[in-house]
Amino acid sequence: MSVLSRTDTSTVGRWWWTVDRWTIAALAILIGIGGVLTLAASPAVATRIGLTSLHFVLRQVVFLAPAVMIMFAVSLLSPRGIRRLACIVFLGALVLMAMTLIFGMEVKGARRWLSIAGLSLQPSEFVKPTFAVVAAWMFAEAKKTQGFPGRLLSIGLYGLVMGILLKQPDIGMAVVVTAVWFAQFFLAGLPIVLVAGLGVAALGGIAGAYVMFPHVAARIDKFRDPVGHENYQIDRAMEAFASGGLFGRGPGEGAVKSVLPDAHTDFIFAVAGEEYGLLLCLAIVSIFAFIVLRGFARLLEDNDLFVVLAGGGLLTQFGLQAVINIGVNLHLLPTKGMTLPFISYGGSSLLALALGMGMLLGLTRSRPQNGGRT
């Protein structure tokens, strides 16, 4: 760890001594586990759908290098730089997301993807972290500058993002964006009465989705009454955990990956459970808990409201995504397509997560007096 001297004042040197190296280590371990599990789960899926066995592995590796670079580069930025970057990316992704409604590829009944230069891109993945930062800025600015209509702007942007997401439709993403935005609003000092009110509204929103979107209704029905419906993926996942036990059946010995269509994405946690057992699964849960809780702890020491809100939003998003994915795998939540951060296969998701965690690392870097900016 002493490659860089304490007195090194270069950009990288300063970064090294101010960034949260524990979180970086945890993220590195996650990426490592993700690589191993993608290698375990995806060849079975790839051969089943007629691709070469290493198809997904290679694509994931191709995305990994830029992802690490993005994370590093973004974490070099100052909070102000991060804010600017977030605004630009947010606006760009918003435009692309709007374009999906017109030019998007239809996959399983939803238009979420754009095909750019042979690679498919899901713009809403990039909206997710950048909107958290933009919304944090709005809330913070509202407190800081009297008369700045931050809350209204934030509500307006939220409405815009929601409108496009529901039009695609992408209910899962909408739920996450809503939860993150609501968490930020809460951190920004939303009166408790309104917290309760919005909580009710959120429940209403879920009820509305149940009524309006048949696929949402079907999934929730399946979850509530697994006997009455065919709950194939969940049954297989449960059997996978059970057959894995404490130590797992051993690398490559799992069977669930060859029967689950989403073994390399939404259900990679079940593959981990079957092949590597409870111990690895607990390790994965612990790493996510560590990153989220440590991030929150660092935010407690920060004096900048924007940093607290943006960091809180990014951590909530990261943690929520992990919790939802693991919860679905463990049959605690209805089936919802949600990737496990840094572990599931998925290019857009990986790049967007790298962007989000890069921004978090940049925001949580220790700064003298936690100040120095307006």
Question: What residues line the site for another protein (CB under 8 A)?
Answer: 143-144, 146, 183, 186-189, 236, 238-246, 255-256, 258-259, 273, 277-278, 281-282, 285-286, 288-289, 292-294, 296-301, 303-305, 308-309, 312, 316, 319, 323, 326-327, 330-332, 369-374
- 267 vs 288, beta carbon nearer another protein: 288
DSSP letter string over 290-303? Answer: HHHHHHHHHHHT--
Of residues 128 and 236, the one with the C-beta less far from another protein: 236
Q: Identify which of residues 30 and 164 has a Cβ nearer to another protein in the complex.
A: 30
Q: How far apart are CA 78 and CA 86, in angstroms?
A: 12
Strand runs labelled E in the chain: 105-107, 110-116, 119-121
- Indicate the residue among 2 and 369 with the shorter CB distance to another protein: 369
CB of 316 to another protein, least distance (A): 7
Q: Which residues pair with 120 in a beta bridge?
A: 115
Query: CA-to-CA distance for 110 and 104, rounded, in angstroms?
Result: 9
Query: Is the CB of 97 or the CB of 308 nearer to another protein?
Result: 308
Q: Residue 331: left if φ>0, alpha if ψ -120 to 50, beta else—which one? A: left
C-beta of 256: minimal distance to another protein in Å? 6
Q: What's the closest the beta carbon of residue 272 comes to another protein, in angstroms?
A: 10
Contact 309, 41 (CB under 8 A): no
User: Which residue has tokens 């090194």?
Assistant: 8
Closer to another protein by CB, 201 or 282: give it.
Answer: 282
- Is the omega angle on the peptide bond into residue 191 within 30 degrees of 0, that is, cis? no
Planar angle of CA 179, 73, 181, nearest 5 degrees: 10
Shortest distance, position 70 Cβ to another protein, whole Å: 25
Cα 173-176-180 angle, rounded to 5 deg:
140
